Amino acid sequence: MDAKEPGVCGVYGAILGDIAGSRFEFTRPEKFDWRREELFNGMSKYTDDTVLTIATKYAVLTGVPYFRAYQRFGRRYMQAGYGPMFKNWLHAHSEKGYNSYGNGSAMRVSYIGLYFDTLEDVEREARQSSVCTHDHYEGIRAAIATAAAVFMARTGASKAEIAYYMRRRYKYTVARPLFLYRPFGRFDVTAMGTMPLAIRCFLESEDWESCIRNVYSVRCDTDTVGCIAGGIADAFYGGTGQDEDALLRRYLIRPNRVGAFDTYLYDWAVKTPEEYRREKEEKGET
């Protein structure tokens, strides 16, 4: 598999993984068939995972500190489904973390793994993106591991190499097969409970769609596991195989409080580094 140029990938796999998983975060139909269930329908929506994933991309491209990007996007989209600790952090206008070991630091970092040139840079930036909110060791570890997995997937590492690095460097147990998860699946928003499952959903996949169906197969925090695993799968397989732009337009462009269509999330989701630099030059910014 050929490596991709840094930053040319989108964050589509993570965003669409969040949207696909949004319907089944808390409930699922009585005769739910994870192999055949449609990935997207009228009940699908973006959640805080998408908002903060795009906020991370915004921070990376603009150079705005991560905490400021998260506050800017978080306050703009207050109904996206944030946890109570993050909501309190938003209202407090804080720059410091709140010792969280939740999975929120991991679900938002895929663009860091897509953009930076070296694993060292990726891991440093992922740490910085985490500590402004999730400054507990487990929150930091999850963010760094996710970004590292995306980077390795993008730059041609094999699944075996990614799995080995996740075990050796981050001490995640990723060898447990999904069929052993399924009878005991439960809603778990901790970084420790989320990361091994998300990585395993990717490792047992054959393409992006099968990765998301693996997420469906286990009762879990499906939007966040889908976001993390979907971001890694997108980088590894070179795309989602979906009509990405049509789906992003469908779910990210929504009427705002005054009835006008808000394209802000969509615009930043699809913006490339080259487009951002060109926009700056046209405005006379350096």
pLDDT in tens, 15-66: 999 999 999 988 887 788 999 999 999 999 999 999 999 999 999 999 999 9
Domain count, the chain: 1
Asked, for residue 34, whether it belongs to a domain, the answer is no
Higher pLDDT, 267 or 31: 267
Strands (E), the chain: 254-255, 261-262
Q: Is residue 235 part of a domain?
A: yes
The answer to whether residue 1 is domain-embedded is no
CATH number at residue 200: 1.10.4080.10
Condensed to tens digits (0 to 9), the pLDDT of residues 64-93 reads 999 999 999 999 999 999 999 999 999 998
Q: Assess if residue 77 is contained within a domain.
A: yes
In a domain, 62, yes or no: yes
* 109 belongs to a structural domain: yes
- Given the structure tokens 């740490």, which residue do they identify? 127
| pLDDT above 90 for 151 | yes
pTM: 0.95
4 domain residue, yes or no: no
Of 272, 267, 3, the C-alpha closest to 150 is: 3
In a domain, 32, yes or no: no
* Residue range of the domain that includes 151: 12-26+40-282
- Nearest Cα residue to 179 out of 153, 150, 204: 204
Say which DSSP state 182 is in.
G
